[in-house]
Amino acid sequence: MNEAALTAEQSRILAKGPFPDYPFQPKHLVHPNGLAQSYLDEGEGDPVLMLHGNPSWSYYWRHLVLGLRDGYRCIVPDHIGMGLSDKPNDEAYRYTLRSRIQDLDRLVEHLGLGDDLTLAVHDWGGMIGFGWALKHAHRIKRLIILNTAAFPLPPAKPMPWQLKLCRDFAIGEWAVRGFNAFAAGAAKQGVVRPLAPAVRDALVAPYDSWANRRAVARFVQDIPLAPGDLAWDLLEEAAKRLPSFADRPAFIGWGLRDFVFDHHFLKGFAQALPKAQQQVYEDAGHYVLEDKHEHLVPRIRDFLDRNLI
C-alpha cells in the first residue's frame, strides 16, 4: 500500500531541514513486513531509476532529479534503514543484498515502471541494481554508472583498511554507530570540493543515533569478498552477466579520487561495456555528483536525450 501522508520517519528527518536543493515531497511504499520505504517520484516520461549506496540516501541524487524531471520520471528510493525510510532492528529486517533486491522488485512493480527503464547506480546501488537485473535485464534499456561496482574486488585492488576495519572488527561497528564515523567521514573524505555545511548536514541527517546507523554498519558487513559470503553468488553472477549490457547505451561518470571505487573499478566497467560514453574527472571523489554536478548533470541529460528509447 502507498500512503499519501508522510510517515513518522519522513517527517522526523525532514524537520531537520530544509535541505538545500531538495524541494521534493517524498512518497512511501509499505512492504508486506510493515516497513515503510521512502522514495521520490518526480516528473513524467521514461523512468530513470536512481539507486543510492552507503552511507548516502536519495539526497545524493537531487541535482540529477532537478536536471531531468521536466522530461523524465525520476524514481529514487531510500533503502530500508537509510534516508527517510524506516530504520528497523535486526529482528524486523534482514540487512542483506537479497533483501535490498527484493525491496526494489516490489517497488518497481508497485509503481508499474514497465520495460523501458534507465538504471542509474552509485556505490552499493550498483550491486543492488545489477542484482535486480539478473532477472529483469530485458527491462533495462540504458545505464548510468557512477563510482560503483557490479563485480568482485579486482585482484589488483587491495581492500581499503577503513572498510576492512568496519566489516570485520567489532571496533569498526562501534565507530560507525557510536560516532557516525562512516557517514560523517564520507561527507568529508568523499569529495574533493568541500561541501557547504548545510549539504554535509543533510547527507548525515538520517544517521543521528546508534540505532539509526544500523544499516550503515550492516551494508559494510555485507560486502562480499569471497565464496561463502552471503552476497557472493549474486555478485559473481552479476559480473558474468555485465558484458551482456554492452549492446545498450551506457554512460560512465567517474571521480578518480575515490579510495574505494578507483581506476581499478572504472577499468572493469570500461572493459565490460566498451561502447559506453565516459566522463572521467581527475579532480572528483566518491561523491562525484557533489563534486561535479554542474558539469555532470548536463552531460547525463544530453546522453539520455541522444539515446531515446
**How does residue 1 score in pLDDT terms, banded at 50, 70 and 90?**
very low
Q: Strand, coil or helix: what is 273?
A: coil
The proportion of the chain whose per-residue pLDDT surpasses 90, expressed as a percent, equals 91
Give the Cα-Cα-Cα angle 2, 106, 233 (nearest 5 degrees).
Answer: 155
What residues pair up with 285 in beta bridges, in sequence order? Answer: 257
User: Which grid coordinates belong to 175?
Assistant: 565507530
Superfamily of domain 2-306: Alpha/Beta hydrolase fold, catalytic domain (3.40.50.1820)
Q: Strand, coil or helix: what is 15?
A: coil
Report the 10 Å Cβ neighbour count for 297.
Answer: 18
* CA–CA dist 157, 265 (Å, integer): 9
**How does residue 163 score in pLDDT terms, banded at 50, 70 and 90?**
confident
**How does residue 4 score in pLDDT terms, banded at 50, 70 and 90?**
low
Q: What is the mean pLDDT of residues 62-88?
A: 98
Residue 264: its pLDDT value, please? Answer: 97
Q: What is the mean pLDDT of residues 69-93?
A: 98
Q: Residue 223 is which amino acid?
A: I
Please, are residues 152 and 128 in contact by the beta-carbon 8 Å criterion?
Answer: no
Please, are residues 206 and 82 in contact by the beta-carbon 8 Å criterion?
Answer: yes
Residue 37: its pLDDT value, please? Answer: 98
**How does residue 113 score in pLDDT terms, banded at 50, 70 and 90?**
very high
